[in-house]
Amino acid sequence: MKFIQFEPIYNLNTKKIIGIDETGVGDYFGFVVSCAAYVPINKLDWVNSLGVKDSKKLTDKKIKEIASLLAKEIYFSTHFFTTKEYNDLNQTLNANEIKMLLHLKTIEKLQNKIDKIDYIFIDQYSTFSSIVKYYEKFLEKENKEKYQIAEIKHDVLLSNKAEDLNINVACASIIARALFLDLMAQKNKLYNVVFPFGAGEKVKLFASKLFENKDKNFVYEVAKIKFKMI
């Protein structure tokens, strides 16, 4: 297994690829969700006909609609951390290390279900060398046991905006976002409040009002406590 910086010269049209993407990392109140997705070769035309693309370019309604169709026809796995779980991890791991851990969990669930995968394609969230270091850190004996890590079995392609380069990553983007939206709806219902997305000035104002009469345990449970608000 090795990491490879993707180049436009690579022809992936006939390759079997597991695409990886995450969502929720920029949301103060949000879950962080990762998805690994694989579209069988004989399903590619059908998937393209759905208008699959980066979830950030689709409405929430369209995301949910496409995700429900994809879930019946392609291979995928998901993993998420609640805000409390994120805060627990963030005591010893930085945000990018948490992303790596999240991706490793989704990859582990899917890589053994599909034969002869050519590549795993991850939307690049840091420098190439940093991502390699994050992975190597989790392979250290102590961390491997602590976080129950399984090694990646296939070569990994890295690229910015990978969801625009490969249909499998785009599918992962959509399914991850659909799950994120569902989880946030459940969280809203549980706390009887509509948590805003993002981390801008409106979110900061919302948080200050929400936390007025709440203790530290509540804040730790619903928000990423080390998150830098814009």
Query: Which residues belong to the annotated binding site?
Result: 21-22, 123
Query: Cβ neighbours of residue 26 under 8 Å, at least 6 residues apart?
Result: 198, 199
The upper half-sphere exposure of residue 16, i.e. CA atoms within 13 Å in the direction of its Cβ, equals 13
Quote the CA–CA distance of 11 and 149 in Å, as a whole number: 31
Strand arrangement of the beta sheet that strand 3-5 belongs to:
3-5, 156-159, 119-123, 17-23, 32-38, 75-81
Sign, CA torsion 45/47/48/49? positive
Paired residues of 36 in beta bridges: 20, 77
Report which of 178, 175, 147, 184 is spatially closest to residue 31, judged by C-alpha positions.
184
Neighbours of 183 (CB within 10 A): 16
SS3 content of the chain, % helix, strand, coil (to 5): 50, 15, 35
Binding residues for a divalent metal cation: 21-22, 123
Residue type, 59: T
